[in-house]
Amino acid sequence: MRCRALNLIGFMFNKYASSRLRKLPSNEEILPEVRGDTAEALANIGDRKAIPLLIKASYDSSPIVRFWACYALGQMPDRRSLPRLEQIAEFDDGEIEHFGSVKAEAKDAMIHVLRRYMKKRRC
C-alpha cells in the first residue's frame, strides 16, 4: 500500500511532498521496496534537490534501491551523477525481477545524462 501511495504522490508532481520524500531513500529502517519507490517518486516529481540524496542511495545494500536511484538519476540528468553511474555500470551485479539489472539501468541513465549535455553544447 505504501508503495502505491508513493508512486501516486510522484505522479501528482506534488512539490510539497518532495521535501518529505527526500528523507526516505537513505533511511535503512524502511523497507527497500519503499525506498526504491520513493526514488522513483522523486524522479516523477522532478525534484532536482534530491540528486545528491539519490547518488547516496545508489550505494545502498539493496539492488532495488540502487536500481531505482539509477532510474531517478536518469530522469533528472545531472553531471554530478555520472561518476557514480559509470561505477555502477561497470561493477554492479544486482538484478531486479521483472525489471532487469542495476548495471543496465545505470547505463541507460548515463545515456540520458550525456544526451542532455550534448544537446546543451549544440545550442
Name the DSSP class of 112. H
What local confidence, expressed as pLDDT, does residue 1 receive? 47
Predicted pLDDT at 67: 98
Judged by DSSP in three states, 95 sits in: strand
**Interatomic CA distance for residues 123 and 120, integer angstroms:** 5
| pLDDT in the model for residue 16 | 58
> pLDDT per residue over 2-59, tens digit each?
455 545 444 455 555 666 677 666 677 889 998 999 899 889 888 899 999 999 999 9
- Are the CB atoms for 10 and 34 separated by under 8 Å? no
Q: Tell me, what's the pLDDT at 60?
A: 95
Domains of the chain: 2-122 (1.25.10.10)
Identify each DSSP E strand in the chain by its residue range: 95-96, 100-101
Strands 95-96 and 100-101: antiparallel
